[in-house]
Amino acid sequence: MSEIVMEQEVAVPLELHVAALSESQKTCKNVKGFTSYAGLSGREGKLLVCVTGGNSYLGSHIVKELLAHSYLVRVIIQNQDDFEDMKRLFREEEMNQLESVVVAKMGDLDTLCEAFRGCHAVFHTSSFIDPHGVSGYSEQMAFLETEGARNVIEACGRTAYVKRCIFTSSLLASIWNGNNIDIVVDESCWSNEEFCREKKVLWLALGKTKAEKVTWNKSREMKVKLVTVCPGLLMAPSFPNAHIETSLPYLKGGQVMLQKGMLATSDVKKVAEAHVHLYEAMNYGACGRYHCFERIIRSSDEAIKLETELKMPGLLSEAQTDEIDNNNKLSNSRLANLLYRTSQRLSCK
């Protein structure tokens, strides 16, 4: 593990290239059990990449970031209703830039193999969090997420051209170690599965931990190059604008995270940028896990602001009698150093 350094934030400026098609230029077709809503295709000189969960808050930002980098993007969603969610998240011209939108279940390995065909890499962001915030996250969802992750890596390995996967995990997969030992929590740390299971509410932490471990084991078996991104609580670009639907399951155990100085937030746009930069950095040897966050909630005032934004007073601050640990024990230096090297490399071109 690299030496721990001060937290850094490096942003590489990006430019959005917009193209548009008329409605008559779009098609809808069935291919071996899945549905594809086709947009632009046949653009020469552009690598085709695939994003699962393109109708999610983070997935949609990753798609937009890839389009801004001139990639040809295929989006995978789990059912046709998700296509309606996509149309609310993307402008019409952005929808028209997509190579296709494919309906494929994460539990159907053969369909995933078909969906990944021709893609250079897969960005697996798909999660079983209810995008409308109704059902939350359960132990069964943790199981489904783990099996879905296993199938994605298996499909990457079986598909001749796909040998890279950029997997979205979570800081929750690192911070719940079940003890009070003062250690630096970096990418070498893993959450304790038994501890998460025993607490009965840390199902998202359990699901992310199990799913990420499965991807690492399966990627070695299938010889798939893998990087995993572990973001904190997803936020809109300006704090404390949290994304409510993804915040609720993340903040189970939030009072303990706050007390221990482990409640970190991540600007969703910067997380999307990190996914793309890590994919490109794989050409230069990037591998392994990367914690991705911008700030750690350090005060009760910040916690109350976050509660107010979520319209859930007391979620974090209620019964908060212990002093918040303000020692910097949560590290994101590995990603910060990589982004710095990336910016230096780009500035030399």
Q: Which residues are catalytic?
A: 208
Q: Which of 86, 109, 88 is nearest to 39 (CA)?
A: 86
Long-range contacts from 252-257, C-beta under 8 angstroms, 24+ separation: 252/201, 252/202, 252/203, 252/204, 252/205, 253/176, 253/199, 253/201, 253/202, 253/205, 254/315, 254/316, 255/316, 255/318, 255/319, 255/320, 257/175
Cis check: omega of the bond before 240, within 30 degrees of 0: yes
Residue 46, CA distances (Å) to 60, 107, 139, 200, 308 in order: 20, 29, 40, 46, 44
Instruction: Determine the Cα–Cα distance for residues 165 and 185; give it in Å rounded to an integer.
Output: 24
Instruction: Determine the Cα–Cα distance for residues 132 and 183; give it in Å rounded to an integer.
Output: 36
Instruction: Determine the Cα–Cα distance for residues 107 and 114; give it in Å rounded to an integer.
Output: 13
Hey, what amino acid is at 258?
Answer: L
Instruction: Determine the Cα–Cα distance for residues 337 and 323; give it in Å rounded to an integer.
Output: 31
In DSSP notation, 6-58 reads -----------------GGG-EEEEETTEEEEE-S---TT--EEEEE-TTSHH
Residue whose entry in the numeric block shows the structure tokens 């079983």: 128
Contact (CB, 8 A) for 284 and 254: no
Angle formed at CA 114 by CA 37 and CA 99, multiple of 5 degrees: 35
